[in-house]
């Protein structure tokens, strides 16, 4: 086995494009990291007090340092049309931003997504001016389109995989609606004290997304927070899932 | 100020972090989960990371270890992380070849996969792969050989 063998065998993967998704959030990493740091400090302090014989203590979680958020996680306010060779596949609500993932009509590897930030969630982007879209200020940011959908609130449309990505991004941006106010109906309820951060709807398959990065749906739990949450809590959450027929607008018991 | 530096670095690094994780995990949701874990750990260790000689190498090591750690958790194997995106069939020979290789790669052990991805898709030398995986250079070489043999078998390649 030579170096050349490996490079040749794996060569086709060099051009791999990663599909768009909403799964990574820098803001969420900072929030989780701050909580971890706070707990470390508290643990160190508790250890010192134990040594000094000063227990018992009342230990409380550090407050979440998150800035104000403006979206209701159980209300979808954004929609995008089936245009430019794409159709919306997944709608994700969130307190700071809402996301739409689109799937290509070609069923190939092209990708597109729309990220809509709440006011103040992200500063104004830099980019080239372009004509207003539906009366709203718009910019080219590379091949992406940025639209100021409210004062100090920006939406981003990104398309990858076509020779005319920019044209398709503009068409998608023109189809955006920001006033949908669709109350999400969830076909199950759960019992938890965790904070709901959003809802993911993929062709009618609903998952609740919590602030600790755990997701739960009818088929079980998932998400990057699994490794940080005690197994007993995950099991309890999973066991608390109850079907709701008809679906409910408040899934937390 | 440190948060700004962190945000700026991670935002710029996300494309290659997500790509590496996608190559390791085989599905975009698993990849995003691994990246989220990695950038959270990076935040808690940002001061140390910033002082590293090679920040990208430091972060890549966090990412790969996050991937391997997730694979070691028994419930993640059952519930979530062994999902591989389906083999897509489209009339595009290049795409089909890429999908075949991707699915074959997912059938290797996580350790072999990590070595092959880092060596042949991230173009890292043996010594740097060994540092990222916290193992000897000899282990990297033997894992490379075993991984390529297994990959050939999966692909039905004889030479």
pLDDT at residue number A199? 92
pLDDT at residue number A62? 39
State whether B80 and B103 are in the same domain. no
pLDDT at residue number B158? 56
Q: Tens digit of pLDDT for each residue in A40-88?
A: 777 776 666 666 665 444 444 433 333 335 799 999 999 999 999 999 9
For residues A169 and A17, which has the higher predicted lDDT (pLDDT)? A169
Beta strands across the sheet bearing A144-150: A128-133, A136-141, A144-150, A153-160, A111-117, A97-104, A86-92, A196-202, A205-210, A215-217, A220-222
Here the tokens at position A84 are 């430019």
Q: How far is A30 from chain B (nearest CA, A)?
A: 6
Burial class (CB in 10 A: 0-12, 13-18, 19+), A242: exposed
pLDDT at residue number A52? 63
**Contact call for residues A194 and A210 (beta carbons, < 8 A):** yes
Helix (H) or strand (E) holding A220: strand A220-222
Which residues of B are less than 8 Å from A30 in CB distance?
3, 6-7, 43
Q: Which of A184-198, A219-233, B102-116 has the highest mean pLDDT?
A: A184-198
Summarize chain B as % helix, strand, coil (round to 5): 75, 0, 25
The structure's pTM equals 0.52
Q: Tens digit of pLDDT for each residue in A26-37?
A: 888 888 888 887
- Number of structural domains (chain B) is 2
pLDDT at residue number A145? 92
Stretch A126-145: mean pLDDT, rounded? 89
pLDDT at residue B81 above 60? no
Q: What is the mean pLDDT of chain B?
A: 81
pLDDT at residue number A64? 36
Which residues of A are less than 8 Å from B44 in CB distance?
33, 36-37, 40
**Contact call for residues A198 and A217 (beta carbons, < 8 A):** no
A220: left (phi over 0), alpha (psi -120 to 50) or beta: left
pLDDT at residue B15 above 70? yes
Spatial distance between the Cα atoms of B50 and B2, rounded to a whole number of angstroms: 10
pLDDT at residue number A24? 85
Q: Name the residue ranges covered by the structural domains of chain A.
A: 25-66, 79-174, 184-248
Q: What is the mean pLDDT of chain A?
A: 83
State whether B79 and B105 are in the same domain. no
State whether B48 and B105 are in the same domain. no
pLDDT at residue number A246? 93
**Contact call for residues B141 and B52 (beta carbons, < 8 A):** no
State whether B69 and B98 are in the same domain. no
How sure is the predictor about B89, in pLDDT bands with cuts at 50, 70 and 90? very low
pLDDT at residue number A46? 64
- Is B70 at the interface with chain A, CB within 8 A? yes
Domain with residue B158: its CATH number is 1.10.10.10
Spatial distance between the Cα atoms of B30 and B36, rounded to a whole number of angstroms: 10
Interface predicted TM-score (ipTM): 0.79
pLDDT at residue number A241? 93
State whether B5 and B70 are in the same domain. yes
Domain boundary among B85, B120, B143: B85
Domain boundary among B85, B119, B144: B85
| Residue from A11, A16, A67, A115 to probe the interface with B (highest B Cβ count within 10 Å) | A16
State whether B115 and B62 are in the same domain. no
Q: How far is A186 from chain B (nearest CA, A)?
A: 21
pLDDT at residue B76 above 60? no
State whether B95 and B78 are in the same domain. no
pLDDT at residue number B18? 92
CB-nearest partner of B101 from A7, A10, A33: A10
State whether B19 and B80 are in the same domain. yes
State whether B49 and B100 are in the same domain. no
Domain with residue B31: its CATH number is 1.10.1740
pLDDT at residue A190 above 90? yes
How sure is the predictor about B75, in pLDDT bands with cuts at 50, 70 and 90? very low
Percent of chain A with pLDDT over 70: 87
What contacts B72, CB < 8 A, 6 or more positions away? none
pLDDT at residue number A167? 93
CB atoms within 10 A of CB A144: 20
A33 vs B11: CB contact, 8 Å cut-off?
Answer: no
pLDDT at residue number A206? 92
Q: Domain span at residue B130?
A: 89-159
pLDDT at residue number B78? 41
Domain boundary among B85, B101, B135: B85
Here the tokens at position B112 are 């072999």
pLDDT at residue number A228? 73
State whether B105 and B67 are in the same domain. no
- Is B76 at the interface with chain A, CB within 8 A? yes
State whether B97 and B79 are in the same domain. no
State whether B3 and B75 are in the same domain. yes
Q: Tens digit of pLDDT for each residue in A107-133?
A: 666 778 888 988 877 777 888 899 999
For residues A59 and A195, which has the higher predicted lDDT (pLDDT)? A195
DSSP state of A102: E
pLDDT at residue A250 above 70? yes
Q: Cα–Cα distances in Å, from A34 out to A25, A41, A181, B119?
A: 14, 11, 33, 34
Lowest mean pLDDT among A202-211, A224-233, B46-55, B105-114: A224-233
Residues of chain B numbered 20-59 and touching chain A (CB < 8 Å): 22-23, 28-29, 31-37, 39-44, 46
């Amino acid at each position: 086995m030579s170096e050349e063998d490996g490079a040749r065998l794996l060569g086709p993967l060099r051009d791999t494009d990663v599909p768009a998704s909403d799964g990574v959030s820098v803001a969420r990493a900072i929030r989780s990291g701050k909580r971890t740091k706070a707990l470390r400090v508290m643990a160190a302090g508790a250890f010192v007090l134990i040594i000094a014989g000063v227990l018992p203590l009342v230990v409380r979680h550090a407050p979440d340092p998150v800035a104000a958020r403006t979206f209701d996680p159980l209300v979808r306010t954004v929609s995008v049309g089936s245009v430019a060779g794409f159709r919306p596949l997944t709608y994700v609500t969130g307190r700071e931003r809402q996301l739409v993932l689109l799937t290509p009509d070609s069923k190939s590897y092209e990708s597109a997504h729309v990220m809509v930030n709440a006011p103040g969630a992200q500063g104004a982007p830099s980019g080239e001016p372009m004509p207003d879209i539906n009366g709203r200020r718009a910019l080219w940011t590379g091949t992406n389109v940025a639209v100021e959908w409210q004062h100090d609130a920006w939406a981003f449309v990104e398309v990858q995989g076509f020779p005319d990505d920019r044209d398709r991004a503009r068409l998608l941006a023109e189809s955006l609606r920001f006033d949908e106010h669709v109350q999400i109906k969830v076909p199950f309820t759960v019992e938890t004290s965790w904070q709901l951060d959003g809802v993911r709807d993929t062709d009618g398959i609903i998952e609740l997304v919590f602030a600790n990065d755990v997701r739960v749906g009818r088929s079980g739990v998932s998400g990057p927070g699994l490794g940080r949450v005690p197994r007993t809590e995950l099991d309890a959450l999973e066991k608390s899932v109850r079907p709701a027929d008809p679906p409910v607008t408040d899934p937390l018991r | 100020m440190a948060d700004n530096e962190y945000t700026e670095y991670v935002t710029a690094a996300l494309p290659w972090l997500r790509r590496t994780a996608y190559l390791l995990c085989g599905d975009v949701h698993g990849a995003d989960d691994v990246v989220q874990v990695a950038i959270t750990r990076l935040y808690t260790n940002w001061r140390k990371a910033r002082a590293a000689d090679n920040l990208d190498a430091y972060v890549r090591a966090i990412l790969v270890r996050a991937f391997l750690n997730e694979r070691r958790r028994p419930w993640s194997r059952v519930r979530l992380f062994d999902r591989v995106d389906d083999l897509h069939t489209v009339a595009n020979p290049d795409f089909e070849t890429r999908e075949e290789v991707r699915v074959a790669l997912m059938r290797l052990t996580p350790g072999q996969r990590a070595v092959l991805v880092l060596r042949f898709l991230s173009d890292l030398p043996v010594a740097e792969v060994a540092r990222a995986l916290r193992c000897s250079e000899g282990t990297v070489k033997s894992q490379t050989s075993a991984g390529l043999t297994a990959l050939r078998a999966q692909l039905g390649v004889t030479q």
